[in-house]
Amino acid sequence: MLSRSTAPAAGQQRAARASFSPLRPPGPIARRRSRCVPRHRRAAAAGDAASGAPALAPAPAAAAAAVASPGTKGGAFDYAAEWWPLAFAADLDREAPNRIMLLGEPLVVWWDGAAWRCFADRCPHRLVPLSEGRINAAKRLECAYHGWEFSGGGSCERVPQGGGGASPRACATAYPARLRQGLLFVRPKPEAGPGAAAADESKIPIVEEFEDPAWVAQDTFRDVAYDWTTLMENVLDASHVPFTHHKSISNRNVIGDYVTTLDGPVTAAGFTGIWPTGPRGGALGPQSGTFRAPAFMHQKIDMREKRGAESMVVVYAVPSSPGRCRILNRNAFRFAKARLPAVVARLVPAFMVHLGTQVPLEDDVIFLHLGEEEYLKARARGQAVGQAYYCPTQADAYVLAFRRWLDDFGGGGPWGSPDAAFLGRIGPRQSRDALLDRYAGHTASCARCQRALRRVRLARRAVGVAAGAAAAAGLLAAAVAVCLAAAAAGGAAGAAGGGAGGAAAAALSALSWFAGAGGAAPGAAAPAAAGAAAARALGWGAAAALLWWLANGALGALESAFYKGQYPPPRNTDKA
Ligand code: FES
Ligand SMILES: [Fe+2]
């Protein structure tokens, strides 16, 4: 445990947190974490060597990749030196640690009260995942195993069992994390020295257009069981859209030419190109494509002439592990004059956008998962891209350009060139049910959908309780009406017409009025009034049951949309 004299005062910590902005270079927190030196330097720390303690676990292969000539033809590509988007910040849970895979390494992302933090998901004590811990009242990440506490910079602030927290070896491995355009970007290398991460920030792959607030983006994400390279190839390929996404977002009966050409050669930075006709047989306008190395692309449709607007599909392909990736997708538009579409789009709840956009993502998932294995088998047999694929038309220009970038400049990808070993690492093929598991691929790691799902469940329960109570009240009122009518009729037969019979008649009258049957007539008319009151009460009960059935059905369908994708996909059930 840190002594009182070495632990920062709470006031100092608050001041440090308050002065930190993710949009500014690290301030006091970064300085305070100076004892958490980069991992490769820690391994050689004299104190550790002198202690005879075992060496630190090796850094992940991707993070430790030696780079001969980054970004040059035939050279390796240092994927860990890139800024990678991990999630839309609004989808992260601020109250608990979030575990996210990147480049084969599990990361833990958490909110320290002032900024998002990103550590290797590994406690320095006994290597269990920090994401299984909690964010405690002091806004520190607390390990679930023995309660070590880490501040945002990675320093170990408390070892409940005793000393040792001041050693650099007690630090969590912290990576630079920055928030840009609503996305949390992480550079999965420990900071190499003061100012290094700040100098790198110009390389964060933002969308220049989104600096203009007139652009409106609807965002979603999905973890899928195919490689980021397969995803990038897929989203660069416009010609699949009408067929794969028929009836979800497109129409296979409205197609034109797909003559796509590159603007120039493929370079280390990527490439751009143009499809002059554009989608829907040219009804919208030309579509330009951009691939920015290593894993960012957007396709922009210039509809200004025909629709007075522009639209853009932006995709970041996040390499989670071999054969697994996270899709970060932004569908955006900007109208030149009309204001209403932007207003309406901003009003749509995020969970509705998320659920709606899962459908097209599920249109592809099964065949991409299976096709990827065939591609890797062909490459493992020694076939080049052009031998594995037969691509006779210009429609595949971007696909082949991306594969060229990957082989020429990208070192084959962070897992190396496609070969038998790569094929082995992607694991066995999954079932349709597993591939369409929307809860595992999205809802489980989306704070906004988790919130919405809780509310839907609550609404479903509330509707059930309210409808049950209304139906029971209706039945009870009907039964009471019948009983009171019988009692009132008995009273009317008596000479005085008062006493118990009179009281029953009065009660029946009140009940009838309540049930909307008008005042009950005394004496012989009582049974008829009672019948009307009972019928009304039963009607109320039936209406409540019907409303419950409808509301429960709608809410049930909504609830299941958080869990499962649809099979067969919409394109296969439509005959047109
Ligand atoms: S493993 Fe984390 S505190 Fe022991
Ligand atoms: Fe969501």
What single string gives the DSSP state of each residue in 132-171? GSEE-TTS-EE-TTT--EE-TTS-EEE-TTSS-TTSGGGS
How far does residue 345's CA lie from ligand 1's centre (Å)? 46
- Position 525 pLDDT exceeds 80: no
In a domain? residue 5: no
Residues 393 and 535 in one domain: no
Task: Judge contact between 258 and 238, C-beta under 8 A.
Answer: yes
Has residue 114 been placed in a domain? yes
Residues 226 and 297 both lie in one domain: yes
Calculate the alpha carbon distances from 350 to 90, 91, 449 in Å.
9, 9, 8
With bands split at pLDDT 50, 70 and 90, how would you rate the model's confidence at 471?
confident
Note the pLDDT of residue 22. 27
Are 221 and 182 contained in the same domain? no
Higher pLDDT: 181 or 507? It is 181
Of residues 497 and 365, which shows the higher confidence score? 365
Over residues 201-241, the pLDDT tens digits come to: 999 999 999 999 999 999 999 999 999 999 999 999 999 99
Q: Which domain holds residue 221?
A: 209-437
**Is residue 302 located within the same domain as residue 418?**
yes
* Ligand 1 centroid distance, CA of 465 (Å): 45
How confident is the model at residue 220, as a pLDDT?
98
Mutate to test the pocket of ligand 1, among 145, 159, 169, 173 (most ligand atoms within 8 A of CB): 145
Residues 6+ apart with CB under 8 A from 490: 501, 504
In this prediction, residue 513 has a pLDDT band, given cuts at 50, 70 and 90, of low
For residues 385-413, give the mean pLDDT.
96
On whether both 229 and 190 belong to a single domain, the answer is no
Mean pLDDT across the stretch 254-278? 95
In a domain, 101, yes or no: yes
**Confidence band for 194, pLDDT divided at 50, 70 and 90:** low
CA of 444 to the centre of ligand 1 (A): 25
**CA of 50 relative to ligand 1 center, distance in Å:** 23
Backbone angles phi, psi at 29, to 5 degrees: -60, -45
Q: Which two tokens stand for residue 570?
A: 């919409």
CA 413 → CA 56, 228, 232, 385, 405, distances in Å? 27, 9, 12, 14, 10
Is residue 108 predicted with pLDDT exceeding 60? yes
Q: Which pLDDT value is given to residue 4? A: 34
Per-residue confidence (pLDDT) for residue 63, from 0 to 100:
34
Between 493 and 31, name the one with better pLDDT.
493
Atom of ligand 1 nearest to the CA of 147: 3
Cα Rg, the chain, nearest whole Å: 32
Q: Is the CB of 367 under 6 A from ligand 1?
A: no
User: Among residues of the chain, what percentage have pLDDT more than 70?
Assistant: 80
* pLDDT(147) > 80: yes
- 132 and 87 in a common domain: yes
Q: What percent of the chain has pLDDT over 90?
A: 67
As a whole number, mean pLDDT of residues 422-432 equals 94
The residue with greater pLDDT, 24 or 525, is: 525
183 and 213 within one domain = no
Strand-pairing partners, residue 302, are 310
Please say which residue of 437, 469, 487 terminates a domain. Answer: 437
Looking at per-residue confidence, does 70 or 71 come out higher? 71
Ligand 1 atom having least distance to the Cα of 144: 2
Is the pLDDT score of 282 beyond 50?
yes
Q: Which of 134, 148, 169 to mutate to test the pocket of ligand 1 (most atoms within 8 A of CB)?
A: 148
Query: Band of the pLDDT at 492, cuts 50, 70, 90?
Result: low
- pLDDT (0 to 100) of residue 15: 36
- Helices (DSSP H) in 313-428: which residue ranges? 340-347, 350-380, 385-388, 397-408, 420-425
Tokens of 153: 């910079």
pLDDT at residue 6, rounded to an integer: 33
* Residue 29 within a domain: yes
Region of poorest pLDDT, from 261-265, 418-422, 512-516, 517-521: 517-521
Confidence of residue 57 (pLDDT cuts 50, 70, 90): very low
Q: Which of 162, 184, 203 is the last residue of a domain?
A: 203
Q: Which ligand is nearest to the CA of 357?
A: 2
Ligand nearest to the CA of 451: 2
Instruction: Sheet containing 287-292: give its strands across.
Output: 216-224, 324-335, 309-321, 296-303, 287-292, 270-275, 261-262
Say whether both 135 and 218 belong to one domain: no
- Is 470 found in the same domain as 424? no
Average pLDDT score over the chain: 84
Distance from Cα 406 to the centre of ligand 2, integer Å: 31
**128 CA: nearest ligand 1 atom:** 1
Asked if the structure places residue 449 within a domain, the reply is: no
With the most atoms of ligand 1 within 8 angstroms of its CB, the residue from 143, 150, 169 to mutate is 143
Which residues make beta-bridge pairs with 328? 221, 316
94 in a structural domain = yes
pLDDT of residue 359: 96
Q: What is the mean pLDDT of residues 325-341?
A: 94
Is 2 domain-assigned?
A: no
Please, which pLDDT band fits residue 485 given cuts at 50, 70 and 90? confident
Residue with tokens 């990147």, as numbered in its chain: 102
Higher-scoring residue by pLDDT: 205, 507:
205
Give the mean model confidence (pLDDT) for residues 121-126.
98
| Helix ranges (DSSP H) in 5-113 | 10-19, 28-32, 39-42, 46-51
Instruction: With CA atoms as reference, report the closest residue to 232 among 411, 368, 353.
Output: 368
Residues 70, 74, 79, CA angle at the centre, nearest 5°? 35
pLDDT: is 142 or 42 the higher one? Answer: 142
Q: Poorest-confidence range of 48-52, 71-75, 352-356, 562-566?
A: 48-52
Does 192 lie in the same domain as 275? no
Confidence of residue 135 (pLDDT cuts 50, 70, 90): very high
Whether 106 and 60 share a structural domain: yes
The confidence score (pLDDT) of residue 564 equals: 96
Same domain, 167 and 254: no
SS3 105: strand
User: Which residue puts its alpha carbon closest to atom 4 of ligand 1?
Assistant: 146
pLDDT value at residue 25: 31
Q: Best of 108, 128, 171 to mutate for ligand 1, by most ligand atoms within 8 A of CB?
A: 128
Q: Of the candidates 142, 170, 203, which is a domain's last residue? A: 203
Question: What is the reported pLDDT for 192?
Answer: 54
Q: Which residue has the least CA distance to atom 1 on ligand 1?
A: 126
- Residue 357: CATH number of its domain: 3.90.380.10
The stretch 191-202 carries a mean pLDDT of 64
Ligand 1 binding pocket includes 144 (Cβ within 6 Å)? no
Please indicate, yes or no, if residue 445 is contained in any of the structural domains: no
Q: Would you state the pLDDT for residue 530?
A: 78
Spatial separation of the C-alpha atoms in residues 126 and 131, rounded to whole Å: 14
Per-residue model confidence (pLDDT) at position 397? 98
Total count of domains within the chain: 3
